[in-house]
Structure 1
Amino acid sequence: MSLPDSLDTAVRQAQEATEAALKDGHNRLQIEIILGDLNVMDMARQYLDLFAPQGEHLKVFFADAGAAALARRDWGETAFSIRGVSELLEPVQDSDQAVVIIAPTPVEVTDIEKMCLTAGDRPFVLLNPKLQDVAIVGIGYAGRQLRERFLNTLEPCYYLRPLAEDTVLFRAYPAPWQIWHSDPTEQFQCLSEFDHRPSGEEIERCLMGQTPGQSSEAGTRSFWNRLNRFLRALQQ
């Protein structure tokens, strides 16, 4: 699968990756489309079309009741329920066939893990979670262990994130993780593939090996111009 040329394409790819992962028996999924000016609410509504067959048996959660109320206002009438993570005494019920949680933060991680355990083998999707961002809330060692343990149970089935300059980290299940880089003709090419999410050091080694001599000020400006054009194209 190639890099998407628009946000609509990225969402379709995320839907396809979700379907492929569910077909292979992965029920705990993580979707991340990380773009600077992304309207997560609009992206999420488009992604949720994947679960239209579930109708009222889909349960959609936001981090808090305020965000859920905003979604209900902006999305109008929907077949599925929209709630804040902590709004219901029994958030996941027997009649629910799938659960999607949009932009959760570390504050909700304990509740989310309980919901995930209750969901069992039903599809359970985190869309653009912020669980890695410990700056959001001060959590102790036990809380960090919980967050990390829970994250390790999720399959990152779609990931799209521009990195420094003209580089993009990409993954669409079942393909491996990929580092894409823009060449002098402004075309993105896949430089390397990994069977795991590459670390910062691995990404740096990949770029140093493939793109020597690109440290001039003019060259850096050119990189950012190309990346900005890529981002603008995605969000059209």
Structure 2
Amino acid sequence: MGVTAMLKNQWPDAPFEIDCLNDLRPYKDEDEVIVMAAVDPLGADDCRRIAAEVLDEKPLILFNPRLSSGEVGVGLNMRRIQNQFLQTFLVTYSIRPLGDIGSVFRRYPGMWQVFVEDKEAPGRYRVAAERPSRPGGEALEYIIKSALNPGAADAEGQGGQPGLLDQISSTVSSIQRFMKSISK
């Protein structure tokens, strides 16, 4: 509510309405488009409710949604509901950093791109892969590993078996990803 009041004060002549999810109905029937900015975990239920109300009537845009957080404990079922809800949206622009080695990027209608740091041009990045859907988990790990160590990935891709250390490293990485996802 405080952010809503601040925005209304900063944009008194805005050609659009600024409302809060705490309002009983933060949109009007005559609105052409609804934009929800930075919805946090506490507003997730209201966001899903409004999306259900306007389904097939008007476009709904989510800008920087943060519907789940490590700060707010949610169970596996709630996380599944949130993921199913977010999958009903078309991602038009996204950039997600991958630590200090690269990022996953998409600008609609383009494909999802994985960028990694270019060793030959410090401070620059190169496209490591393009995919029609967002790469994640082991697929993303393989893309990054292939881009950073092309020889190792080629040996595995030609039927060579990864060594014991590679298998242990992969298993530990998978467990770490699993534990991180549980903690969220």
Q: Same fold (TM over 0.5)?
A: yes
The DSSP-based 3-state class of the residue aligned with 1:81 is coil
- Say whether residues 1:126 and 2:66 are aligned partners: no
1:196 aligned residue (133, 140, 160): 133
The DSSP-based 3-state class of the residue aligned with 1:130 is coil
- Say whether residues 1:84 and 2:20 are aligned partners: yes
Cα deviation code 1:166-199 (max 9, x no counterpart): 3121011111111012312133221101222111
Residues 105 and 129, structure 1, Cα contact 8 Å, conserved in 2: yes
Q: Within 1, Cα distance between the matches of 2:137 and 2:59?
A: 31
Moved over 6 A (4+): none
Q: Which residue of 1 aligns with 2:52?
A: 117
Residues 68 and 83, structure 1, Cα contact 8 Å, conserved in 2: yes
Q: Within 1, Cα distance between the matches of 2:4 and 2:71?
A: 19
Q: Within 2, Cα distance between the matches of 1:141 and 1:163?
A: 24
- Opposite residue 98 of structure 1, the aligned amino acid is V
Deviation, 1:99, is 0.5
Structure 2 length-normalised TM: 0.71
2:91 aligned residue (139, 151, 156): 156
> Residues 31-180 of structure 1: matches in 2 within 5 Å?
65-87=1-23, 89-121=24-56, 122-133=58-69, 135-180=70-115
Query: Bigger radius of gyration, 1 or 2?
Result: 2
How many residue pairs get aligned? The number is 147
Deviation, 1:140, is 4.1
Q: Structure 2: which 5+ residue stretches go unaligned?
A: 151-184
Residues 105 and 136, structure 1, Cα contact 8 Å, conserved in 2: no
Residues 19 and 27, structure 2, Cα contact 8 Å, conserved in 1: no
- Opposite residue 120 of structure 1, the aligned amino acid is L
Cα distance change, pair 169–145 in 1 and its aligned pair in 2 (3 A): closer
Cα distance change, pair 182–143 in 1 and its aligned pair in 2 (3 A): closer
Structure 1 length-normalised TM: 0.57
> Over aligned residues, Cα RMSD in angstroms?
2.0
Deviation, 1:80, is 0.9
Which one scores higher on RCO, CA 8 angstroms, separation ≥ 6? Answer: 1
